[in-house]
Structure formats: C-alpha cells, structure tokens
Amino acid sequence: MIVIMKPGATDQDVRHVVQLIQDFGLKEHVIVGTDRTVIAAIGDKRAVDKGAIETAPMVDRIMPILAPYKMASREVKQDKTSIEIGPEKFPIGGRRVGVIAGPCAVESRDQFLRTADIVKAAGCIGLRGGAYKPRTSPYSFQGLREEGLHILAEARERTGLAVVTEVMGLDSLPAVVEYADVLQIGARNMQHYPLLEAVGQVQKPILLKRGMMASLEEWLLAAEYIINAGNPNVILCERGIRTFESYVRNTLPLASVPELNERTHLPVLVDPSHGTGHARLVPAMCRAAIAAGADGLIVECHIDPEHALSDGAQSLAPDQLQELVRSLKRIAQAIGRVL
Amino acid sequence: MIVIMKPGATDQDVRHVVQLIQDFGLKEHVIVGTDRTVIAAIGDKRAVDKGAIETAPMVDRIMPILAPYKMASREVKQDKTSIEIGPEKFPIGGRRVGVIAGPCAVESRDQFLRTADIVKAAGCIGLRGGAYKPRTSPYSFQGLREEGLHILAEARERTGLAVVTEVMGLDSLPAVVEYADVLQIGARNMQHYPLLEAVGQVQKPILLKRGMMASLEEWLLAAEYIINAGNPNVILCERGIRTFESYVRNTLPLASVPELNERTHLPVLVDPSHGTGHARLVPAMCRAAIAAGADGLIVECHIDPEHALSDGAQSLAPDQLQELVRSLKRIAQAIGRVL
Amino acid sequence: MIVIMKPGATDQDVRHVVQLIQDFGLKEHVIVGTDRTVIAAIGDKRAVDKGAIETAPMVDRIMPILAPYKMASREVKQDKTSIEIGPEKFPIGGRRVGVIAGPCAVESRDQFLRTADIVKAAGCIGLRGGAYKPRTSPYSFQGLREEGLHILAEARERTGLAVVTEVMGLDSLPAVVEYADVLQIGARNMQHYPLLEAVGQVQKPILLKRGMMASLEEWLLAAEYIINAGNPNVILCERGIRTFESYVRNTLPLASVPELNERTHLPVLVDPSHGTGHARLVPAMCRAAIAAGADGLIVECHIDPEHALSDGAQSLAPDQLQELVRSLKRIAQAIGRVL
Amino acid sequence: MIVIMKPGATDQDVRHVVQLIQDFGLKEHVIVGTDRTVIAAIGDKRAVDKGAIETAPMVDRIMPILAPYKMASREVKQDKTSIEIGPEKFPIGGRRVGVIAGPCAVESRDQFLRTADIVKAAGCIGLRGGAYKPRTSPYSFQGLREEGLHILAEARERTGLAVVTEVMGLDSLPAVVEYADVLQIGARNMQHYPLLEAVGQVQKPILLKRGMMASLEEWLLAAEYIINAGNPNVILCERGIRTFESYVRNTLPLASVPELNERTHLPVLVDPSHGTGHARLVPAMCRAAIAAGADGLIVECHIDPEHALSDGAQSLAPDQLQELVRSLKRIAQAIGRVL
C-alpha cells in the first residue's frame, strides 16, 4: 500500500501515519518527493482495512498495491486450470472450446427434452436450463423447482450432455447438488457470501457469473470465497455489465477475457445471450468471444422463442443454433483451438 | 405494452403479432402511422414475458407501459407510509426526520457501547452496527456474529435507540430477528429473492438498500417481493450507484429521493457514508439529502476512525457527528420538517 | 509516479525501468516489498507520457501521484476565487448564492423579454438563454443566432441581469463575446481545446460545464486550458453525468460540489435542469445543491413550457421559479449563506 | 410518439394533450387501456420538441417511436456503403477487411517513416498518425501540426498507404483537408456541430469516432450532420465507452458492430487501442472485432512504445503488429471475408 500525503504535510503528520502503519503490523518506507511525501507500507496484510489511514490528518489518498485475491491468481498457480464437466468429462479450460445451450427455464418435460435433442445434435457439450429462477418481479414465472431438476436429470441420461443449472439459495442447494453437473451462481448472487461459502463445500464444478456491476477484482474475490472454502473447481462466466447503453440488456465487455487469462488460471466462459439481450446480436458476439480467447460459451435457445416463458427475446431458434455452431468451429480453428 | 414494427412490415407480419398478443390473453389495438405500424396490447398481465414478441418477424422493439410493481406504488396507496422503529417508536416517513448512526461493524462491547452513548447524545434516533458483515474479501473481518447481536441489544437497553443491523442470509435470519429492531438488507442482497421472501414473513421493519446497479424499478420490485410475502414495513435506503466516477466509492444520485416520493408511498432514507466513501464528503451530502426530501439518514461514525476494522475512511468522528446533527436541524426547519 | 512490477520481476527488469525513469529526467527510488518491487519516480514532469513505461517487461501498472492541473488547484491558490458577473457585478464564489434562470433557447423577442421580467422579479441575478444551440439532431431548432444575441442584450439593459449564453465554436465567438456577460462552454465542448484556448484569450467570465463523461480531473484540466491561455475567470458548472439510470436525463452527482471545494479555488454552480431532465425533480435538486455547498444555480424556466422549442420537459413555469427561490433563501440561511 | 397518461387522468387531461399534439401538426390516436390511457401521435415531425408535452398535467412520460436519423439509416438506403480510401482506393465496407495502423502522434520524420514502412510490410492498408493532438492536459505534447502533415504526405508517397489524421477544429481544417486521405473526427469532437457541418462540405472520407458516452442514436445523428451537409462518405469507428471498469481505459462494446450493421449502411471500423488502453489486450480484441463483423481496424503501433510521446501503453511493437495481421487473415477467412 502507498499512502500519498497532501502538499504541506508536516513531519508530525508523516510520523503519525508511520505510527498507524506500524500499528497494522506493516513496515514503512518514506519517500520525500518534490511536491509531496509518499509512504509505502510493506508487508502482506490482506486482512487489514487500510482505508482507515485515509482519515489521518493531511493524508490525500491510499493506493493498494497487492491484488487481494490469492488462490484464484496466476501468481499462485501458473498453469491454466481445466475442469471436467458432465458424464463425458468435457474439459473446460483446455484446447477444446465447448458450447452449453438450452432455454432460460425448464418449462415442461416435452419442451425441455425436445430442446435437449436439438442441443445435442448441434454439437454442444452442455445443457442449460433453470429450475429455480431468480426473477426481477414476484409476479413472473419462478420455475418448476424440484420437478425441473428431475427433467434436467432425464435430459442428461438421454443425451449425455452436462447439465448446468442455477442454485438460488441455501434452501435449494441440497436438491440442486443432487441433480446438476455444474452449479451456476447467478449474477445477482455473485456476492451472496453465505451461498459462495456453501458451494465451496460441494465437490461439483461451480459456474460463477459476473455480477452486472462487479469489477474483475470483486469477481475474483467471489471465486476466492469458493476456493477458500474448499472447492477449486470454479468456472468464470462473463455475462455483461450494466452501462448507459440502452440498445442492449447489458454491455458485453470482451476485453475481460484476455485480461482474466492473464490474472487467473480459472477457465472463462462467455454468455452472449444475457450479454446482449437480443437474439439478433448473439451469433456475432459468440464468434467474437471465441476469437477473444474464451474457453466456451453458454447461450440460450428455445424450440419456440416467441412463446418462451422467460428471456424469449434473447433465445436462438433451433436452426440458428446449428448454424452458429458451424461458424464457431471455423473461428476456433482460426485461433488454433477445436470445437 | 406497445409493439413497434419495422418499416416495411406486411399485413401478415402485423397479423402474426396480433395473434401472439391474443395468445397472451391481451387485446390488440393497431395504429398505422406514416412510417411504421404500432400495436398496443391492452390488459393487465404483469406475469407474461412480453419480450418474447420481440423475436417475431419484422418487430423492431417492445415498450412496456405499466409499472411492474403494484403494492409499492402510489397508484395503489396514495398516502405516505410511516413506519415506527425501536423502543421509542420513532415514525420514519412523517414530518420528522431521523438520523441513524453507528460504526460499520460491532468490533467490541466497549467500542460499541461508547459509540452508542455518543450517537444518543448527538440526538440520533437509531443505532447501526453490523454483526454479520458481507465483505468483498474472504480474508477481511467478518463480524462478531451472535456476540455482536448481544452487544447491539445491550446498547438498545442502555440508550433506547432503535437497533438496525444487516441480515446476510437465511442461516442467520432467526438470530437477527430476535435481537434487531430493523433488519437491513444490504445492497449486494437486494435481489437475493429467497431472503426477500423470508423477511417478508417477519413482522419487523426492513431497511432495503438499493443495489449498486439497480434501477428504481428493480428496487421497487425487490420491495414488492417483501410486501407480497406479507410484510408491508419496508424502508428504502439510497446508498449510491456505481458509475465511472473514481473520486467516490459510489455516486450518490439524490434525484432518486424526489422521484421515489412520486412513485412510492414507502419512506426513503439516504446513506451518504457508502454513497461517497469518504468522511470529508459525508456532512455536505447529509445536508443535501435532507434538502432533497429524504425521511432520514443512516451514517457511519466511529470513536476512532483511524483504527476502525472496516469502513474507516467513511466514518465520522464523534465531534463531527454532533456538529452534523446541529446543521441538519436547520436544514430540516428550512423545508418545514423537524429533526 | 509509482511503477508496480509484477511478482517475479528480475533485477534486470527493475534496472530497465530505472533507466526509463532516468530517460524521462526523473529520479528513481526502488522499494523491495514482500511480494513485489515498487519504483517511485520523483520529480515534477507533468508533460511526460509516463504510460509508456507500462509496456516495459514485467511492469504490472503505473500509478500517478500528482494532480495534473496546477493553476486550478487549491495547492497553488488557497483562497476561493470570486468572479463578478453582469452590470451589477454579482460576486459568484463568495458568501452570497446566486440563481441564473431563463429558457433553453431565445425563441423570440416577446418570449424572452417576458421571461426576463419574471426572472428578475423572482430574485435571480442572471439570465440564461441560448442564441446558438448545439442540438443532437440536425433537424432540430438551432437557435436565432445573432438575432438572439441582440435580444439578450436588450433584456440585460431592461433588467440589469447578467446575461449568460453558450459559445458553440470559433466562428461565433467574436459575436458572443460582444454581447454576453458570461460565455458558457457547453458539456459537449468541454474538451474542444481550440475553443478553450480561444476563450482563454477573452477577458469575460467563462461558465465551464462538466462533460457528461468527464472525470473531475479532466474537467479541471479543461479549466486549466482556459487559465493557462490567460483567463483566470472560470466558473465550473456541474450538470450531471451519464450513467445507467434511465428515469433521469443525467445523474446529478452532488458530491462533486464538496470535492471540488477541496480541490479547486474556482466557484461551482449546479444545473439541476440538465442534471435531471424533468421539471418535477428540479426544485428538490436545487435545494440539495445549495445545501451541498454550491455557489449558485443555473435553471431553465419558460413562460409556457408545454410549447417550448427545446428542453420543455425540464423547464420550470414562472410560478414554480418564484416559489423555488423563496425556499432556496431558507436553505442558504440554514448553512450560513445569503440568497 | 406515444404519450402515456398517469392513472386517474381525466377526459379533460386527455383532451389537453390531444390539443398539444394537434398544435405540433400531428394527428392523435387515443387508446383507453385497463389502467391507463395512451395517446399515439402520428406524423413525421422530427423537428418538434415533443418532450414539452411531458410537462402537461397528468402526463406520465413520452416514448419516441421513430429513429431521429434518416440518411444514415438502412430504412433510406438498404445497400451497405463502400468508401474508397487512399491512393490505392481500398474499399472500406465491402467483403475485404482493412487494417489501418500507426503511432498516436507523428513525433518526427524518422520515427514516422520507419513506422510507415513497418505498417506497409505488415499488410495494412492505411497509416494513422496525429499532427494535431487533442490532449487532456495543456502541458502535454500537442503534435507537430503543419510539419506533421508534411511528414504524413511524404509517408503516403513512399508507401501508397491511405493517410488518416485527426482534424481538431475549424482553424486547422483547410490544412488537414489538403494533406490527409481520411479526416478523423475524434471522440471528444463527436458532437462539435460546427466541425461536423464543416467536414460535411469536404469531399474526402470522414472517420467519425464514437464519443465515449455517446448512444448509438447520438452517434448516428452526428453522422447525419455530416451527410446532411453534403458529404455521404462517413466511416464510423467504435473506440469504446466509459463505464465503471478500471482495468481498461475504455470498455469496448463490440455488440455495437452487429447492431450498427442492422441500423445503418455506413461502414464500421473498431479501434481496440483506445478501446482497451493496454497493448496486451489489443490483439485479442482485434480478432474479436473482425469476428463480430467489423469492416476493419485502426490500431496504434510504435517503433519504440516505451519512449512514445503519447499513448505508449496501448501501442503495439512492430513484431506484434506483423503477428496480429497474420492471425486476422485467418479470422477474416473463417467468416467468409478477406484481409
């Protein structure tokens, strides 16, 4: 941490900050510049709330140096992590690129099994579908809950696809753990720490979506909660952030993909369905995500988007999914990967 | 809902949309404009996912008309709601303006009881303090948990102040309900629906903080979850949003106060501590919030901000709190209210 | 400037950065921490592009220390600047608080003179009105141009109010300088440097609006361009920033007022009309701005908002303006100022 | 335009709005819904400020229907526009994809000509370089101005590359028009209307960068200013927007590429250098931009990024540029285009 003093700080002001730094168990290093004095605090004390020093007299501001996450960082583990998912143990995070597809919600056994067949036929490696749905309005369809989980399991047996579904809270966690191959933590729950700690005690892979206003650091710290609680199998999923843009549901900032590939060893998926909110934009952004270096995609598709109970506007129709996967194979090849 | 067709939409395209609208149990109304055809869908079907219509051929976009919340709206209840808190039943949402103050976290019995005395002496009506702390990093101080709740209760008995503390998850809810006067839902949990539904079954007032990425509509829908589950005693708390601004922890958008006063009957507090992140900005923003029409404030103060275990940078020292309350009395008077 | 090396940087990597720092005419100071090495570069070289060092091997990132503006800062001039405007030399930036009001655009002689009388009668000290209008669409009303300037001058003679109007570009600058008392640089032009340099050679006060995407630093650097070119009479005007919020035209971040009062000696006005975009929100935000410490306000009013040629939605009607000024007097008094 | 009345609006309120609509020369269409009355205003009056209706009693809000731009839209011109640039008349906007590269600023004849050779050898089709530089600080390097233009022209003669350079203001426009092949309007000037109108009277192609807080609509309206003034040769350039993200200089929202390809016939380039701010992220985002459907790229490269006078942090070194172009050829091929 670096403490920047205001111009005009006296020796006494500096000594006071040095004392605070020592109180925190850190070692100080004072640098007198032409305009300002700067004090470096040396030592690895991630747990200390260094912001408190900001209230000391004549302190201008504090600048952290260390990344606050450890186990999620490349500094601690340099090799990329590869996480196997589903009955066919598809490795997420290796040379191969995988596509997970399916409807926003499991609406009925018929709808879901028909979709599963289409997803399988298109060449995808996983099947998504919500049984418990976090909905903005209490009056919206909330999912089939346990019945939805049974349908998910049936679809897995039928197709061999890995089943990905969201776990919304502590109360439904045991049921979801029993049925799903990959547990999704939704964007709204990215900082629900009791849930992160709970899935940290599970031995299944966790798909951790980025919160729509989360910094990369906050996102990696959410992963750190899970890893720190005992589960190293965290897959990150970029799903877009909230900005001033209004033609999209979210702004999809693909530069997070190469940036994460530098900072963390965890695999990174992209969700262009939530990342744009409109089916018409999804194929181009899927191609862009793979070109940017993503390890895979999660996309929404529906056998009849016009009648979907949720997220219809961003769901691909079956023929669009097939065509998309074909074009993604070529992009993957162009960057030396395989889909 | 209004469906806007693209230029060049044929009669068949329009008939297809009309059919979809009828499928949803709504009545259509077609308006042929100079450039475009527009179709109004009439009827109150909040549960329908109208976005699905967007995927129909030649549909340009969909515009919702109705606010999706009901019980939180002024349309349903025109009179402002007043909610009594604490042993002294201070009414939040009436002519009187109240200040709730205290440290970010309960750190020790001594620290907290001394703070409680200062908060009481300054003329505040409530005492805040976290027993369960949602922290961005798993390595930060996580709160004293149940021990913290006991200290909170002791402080209430000693001072008569209403005790406000955060409930972080379903697991700690029963304990928090037992000890607190007001249950705070933190910004990160604003859309954690299992928790919203659970506090909807409690009969104590809920302080619902705005998520840092939440629209007013999403925030009011979160309130709607709580009211819909049975608890009408929801106090909204604006605590700032995330923007590109970097000199503040969050941008505090005070126009939400008059806007909420139009849309909803629920009382509105403001938290300028999280809303700015720097103690130096807190007093001015407290005055601004009251001038803008807020029903009260929640501010962080600490007997020794430089050594606070969390949020030290945004905590007022005791003398600053006293001086602040004095100036707020004058602002309240200037707009015809009382503090 | 502080250069933070990546973990694992070798002595050679550090020596390379030290060499670059010396190439820039700065002095280095190397601090070896537990995880990382950090190199401080000492010396005041604002003109150097220090970002270039980021591309050196094993450099993680660069953190600037010095504020890049000088003449606009409190470090160089501690006393608040007071700038006299108009025939009556009202001092902006002292104990008195002033309100400038008027329509978005000068639409006709009759409309404007009637408005001027109302603005005067309400107790305002300045009159705003656009003669040259920057409009988002080329098909919108673009202003009366020179004819508008003549009407502005007539209104000043009639009322004694200071006349504030926007200068849109180099081509219209001489005409605007001749007629206006205060030259406004609009938000879209905040970083149009040829114009900033040109108004820096004028001896009239400049009202510099914040760009809707500008950081405080960029805004103060825009002021620095004007001061550096020879004109110290810069009045800052906060008019809101663009965020994800959609119920307002812009989000009005009032914490900029106390923050600017710390960083700069320049006076600060607030424009709640553009800062919210809706007349219904303007009075509350005017009160909040004064309570937050603004030196004055600039608000839009129109004798007939429903028929205004531009910005009708955010214009106050005459009776609303009168009532607003009355309530602002009480707020000013509550914080020890006078309106 | 659609006017949404508040619940409880009376017949008289509705009649008043109908009258206002008729005053604007539009035709009304009243729809009485279950909760609310909605009034459609029919007719193509882009010049009317419809926002004014919002201030009428019991009006809740106004929703525009028509896109406010015409000549830039696909509705008016369905075929994609292809614009030839430089001595070799490379068509921007066809099947071929082109890369424009070069340093942020022309720093010296030697630096620039050496760079030009590298850009040519790498297979690029254009050369960028600033002679007039808009710099955030008045103390930064401001460009070689006319001398820089001469060097640009010499580089064009030597290499045959199209020369792209920024025009900063009306004063330098004649000189830039004389020397450049493509005139760039920078992000800060996207809404400097006097300049847009002036380059609308020039017959050279205009590269119009997106403002960092501009909506797509505002950007297309800026293009409309240029086309409306007489110059149809507008190339759009996405260069990132400002968001809360701090690991990048700007957030690069590539979904704008497919969205623009639907809305407008104008060609679209992407600038991943400004779009990320860090050389390490540029190659991945270049690949993503082409995969998303961009017609080309503009990237910064420098023979010695560590000593660049501006934008060093985001400049590719020569070998990085060569390798990048090679990988882009494969991406272009994968989507059926040629580079």
Looking at residue D222, which CATH number applies to its domain? 3.20.20.70
Structure tokens at B225: 């979850």
Asked if A284 has any chain C CB less than 8 Å from its own CB, the reply is no
Residues of A in contact with D291 (CB under 8 A): 284, 287-288, 290-292, 331
Query: Is any Cβ of chain B less than 8 angstroms from the Cβ of C67?
Result: no
B242–A contact, CB cutoff 8 A:
yes
- The reply to whether C135 and C244 lie within a common domain is yes
Residues in B touching A136 (Cβ below 8 Å): 68, 191, 218, 221
Residue B257 lies in a domain: yes
Q: Is D75 on the interface with C (CB under 8 A)?
A: no
Q: Residue B158 region, left (φ>0) first, then alpha (ψ -120 to 50), else beta?
A: alpha
Residue C233 sits at the chain D interface (C-beta within 8 Å): no
A183 within a domain of the structure (yes/no)? yes
Q: Which secondary-structure segment (H or E) carries C233?
A: none
Tens of pLDDT, residues D193-216: 999 999 999 999 999 999 999 999
DSSP assignment of A40-78 equals: EEES--TTS-GGGGGGSTTEEEEE--S-S--TTBTTT--
Q: Which residues of C242-268 are buried (b: 16+ CB within 10 A; e: fewer)?
A: bbbbebbbbbbbbbbbbbbbebbbbbb
Residues C133 and C258 in one domain: yes
B30 inside 8 A of chain C by CB: no
Tell whether A196 and A257 lie within a shared domain: yes
Does residue B192 sit in the same domain as residue B227?
A: yes
Residues of chain B scoring pLDDT < 50: none
Inspect the interface and report whether the beta carbons of B257 and C290 lie closer than 8 Å. no
Residue C59 sits in the same domain as residue C200: no
Assess C323–B contact: CB distance below 8 Å, yes or no: no
Name the residue of chain D whose CA is nearest to C277's CA. Answer: D51
CB contact C212 to B (< 8 Å): no
Q: Is residue C272 within 8 Å of residue C285, measured between CB atoms?
A: yes
Element (H, E) at D182: strand D182-185
CB contact under 8 A, C2 and A7: no
Do the chains contact at D51 and C312, CB–CB below 8 Å? yes
Closest in C29, C66, C244 to A244, CB measured: C244
Helix axes A318-334, A109-121, angle to 10 degrees: 30
Facing C284 at nearest CB: one of B243, B248, B293:
B293
- Which of A3, A48, A193 would you mutate first to test chain B, the one with the most B CBs within 10 A? A193
Question: From B197, which residue of chain A is nearest by alpha-carbon distance?
Answer: A138
Last residue of a domain, one of D16, D33, D63: D63
In this complex, is the C-beta atom of C97 within 8 Å of any C-beta atom belonging to chain B?
no
CATH number at residue A20: 3.30.70.1140
| Residues on chain D touching B31 (C-beta within 8 angstroms) | 29, 31, 40, 42
**Chain C touched by D116 (CB under 8 Å):** no
Q: Can you tell me which residue has the tokens 């410490």?
A: C293
Domain contains D339 = no
Q: Is D282 inside any structural domain?
A: yes
| Alpha-carbon span B186 to B44, nearest angstrom | 32
Instruction: Note whether residue B68 is domain-resident.
Output: no
For residues D52 and D99, membership in a common domain is answered with no
- Which pLDDT score, from 0 to 100, does residue D64 have? 83
On whether both B284 and B315 belong to a single domain, the answer is: yes
User: What ipTM was estimated for this complex?
Assistant: 0.95
Write out chain D residues lying below 8 Å of B3, CB-based: none
> Residue B145 region, left (φ>0) first, then alpha (ψ -120 to 50), else beta?
left
Residue A109 sits at the chain B interface (C-beta within 8 Å): no
Nearest by CB: D171 against C194, C242, C312: C194
Instruction: Tell me which of B33, B63, B93 is where a domain ends.
Output: B63
- Summarize pLDDT for A231-247 with one digit per residue, the tens: 999 999 999 999 999 99
Cβ contacts below 8 Å, chain A against chain C, sum to 52
D313 at B interface, C-beta within 8 A: no
Residues of chain C with pLDDT under 70: 44-48
State whether B34 and B154 are in the same domain: no
Of C2, C34, C66, which has the smallest distance from its Cβ to A43's Cβ? C34
**Chain-chain contact of B287 with C291 (C-beta, under 8 angstroms):** yes
Tokens representing A26 are 């850190």
A201 in C contact zone (CB under 8 Å): no
Of B247, B251, B331, the CB nearest to C251: B251
CA distance A89 to chain B (A): 30
Amino acid D45: pLDDT: 65
Q: Comparing A237 with A23, which gets the higher pLDDT? A: A237
Residue with tokens 């819909």: B228
In the structure encoding, which two tokens stand for residue B279, read together?
Answer: 């103690």
Shared-domain flag, residues C207 and C325: yes
Written as one string, the DSSP assignment of D68-122 is: S--TTBTTT--SPP-EEETTTTEEETSSB-EEEEE-SB---HHHHHHHHHHHHHT
Cβ contact, residue pair A279, B188, below 8 Å = no
- Kindly list the strands in the beta sheet with D27-32, ordered across the sheet, starting from the edge strand earlier in the chain: D27-32, D37-42, D2-5, D59-63
- Is C303 inside any structural domain? yes
Q: Which residue of A has its CA nearest to B135?
A: A193
> Mind listing the pLDDT tens digit of every residue in chain D (339 residues)?
889 999 889 999 999 999 999 988 889 999 988 778 999 988 866 666 777 888 899 999 888 887 889 999 998 899 999 999 999 999 999 999 999 999 999 999 999 999 999 999 999 999 999 999 999 999 888 999 999 999 999 999 999 999 999 999 999 999 999 999 999 999 999 999 999 999 999 999 999 999 999 999 999 999 999 999 999 999 999 999 999 999 999 999 999 999 999 999 999 999 999 999 999 999 999 999 999 999 999 999 999 998 888 888 999 999 999 999 999 999 999 999 999
Q: Indicate the residue of A68, A242, A317 with minimum beta-carbon distance to B137.
A: A68
Q: What is the DSSP string of A157-200?
A: HHH-PEEEEE--SGGGHHHHHHH-SEEEEPGGGTT-HHHHHHHT
- Give yes or no for residue A46 having a pLDDT over 80: no
Name, in order, each residue with C-beta under 8 angstroms of C310's C-beta and a sequence gap of 6 or more: C104, C105, C130, C133, C135, C140, C141, D49
Q: Nearest residue of D to residue B41 by CA position?
A: D33
Is the CB of C51 less than 8 angstroms away from the CB of D311? yes
Q: Indicate whether A75 belongs to any domain.
A: no
D35 → closest Cβ in B29, B40, B66: B66
Based on the domain organization, do B24 and B165 belong to the same domain? no
**Quick one: C269 and C179 in the same domain?**
yes
Tens digits of residue pLDDT in A194-227: 999 999 999 999 999 999 999 999 999 999 999 9
Is the CB of D338 inside 8 Å of chain A's CB atoms? no
Q: Are residues D27 and D110 in the same domain?
A: no
Q: Scanning every residue of chain C, which has its alpha carbon at the shortest distance from the alpha carbon of A246? A: C244
Does residue A154 form part of some domain? Answer: yes
For residue A154, the enclosing domain spans 83-334
Domain boundary at C28, C63, C98, which? C63
Q: Do D66 and B36 touch (CB under 8 A)?
A: yes
Residues of C in contact with D278 (CB under 8 A): 54
Which residues on B lie below 8 Å from C241 (Cβ)?
A: 243-245, 251
Q: Cite the beta strand spans of C135-180 per DSSP E.
A: 162-166
Q: What is the pLDDT of residue A25?
A: 87
Over chain A, what is the mean pLDDT?
94
Chains that touch B (3 or more CB pairs under 8 A): A, C, D
Q: Inspect the interface and report whether the beta carbons of B40 and D31 lie closer than 8 Å.
A: yes
Q: Which two tokens stand for residue B134?
A: 């949602």
Q: Note whether C280 contacts B262, CB cutoff 8 Å.
A: yes
Number of domains in chain C: 2
- pLDDT on residue B285: 98
Supply the pLDDT for residue A44: 67
**Separation between Cα atoms, residue B31 and residue D114, nearest integer Å:** 63
Question: Which positions in chain D touch A281 (Cβ < 8 Å)?
Answer: 255, 258-259
Specify the pLDDT at position C44: 67
B258 vs chain C: nearest CA distance in angstroms? 6
Q: Tell me what the mean pLDDT of segment A293-306 comes to.
A: 96
For residue range D36-61, what is the model confidence (pLDDT) as tens digits?
A: 899 998 886 666 677 788 889 999 98
Residues of chain C positioned with their CB less than 8 A from the CB of D221: 136-138
Is residue A69 within 8 Å of residue A224, measured between CB atoms? yes
Query: pLDDT value at position A51?
Result: 77
Q: Is A124 in contact with A99 (CB distance < 8 Å)?
A: yes
Residue A60 above 70 pLDDT? yes
Q: Is B243 on the interface with D (CB under 8 A)?
A: yes
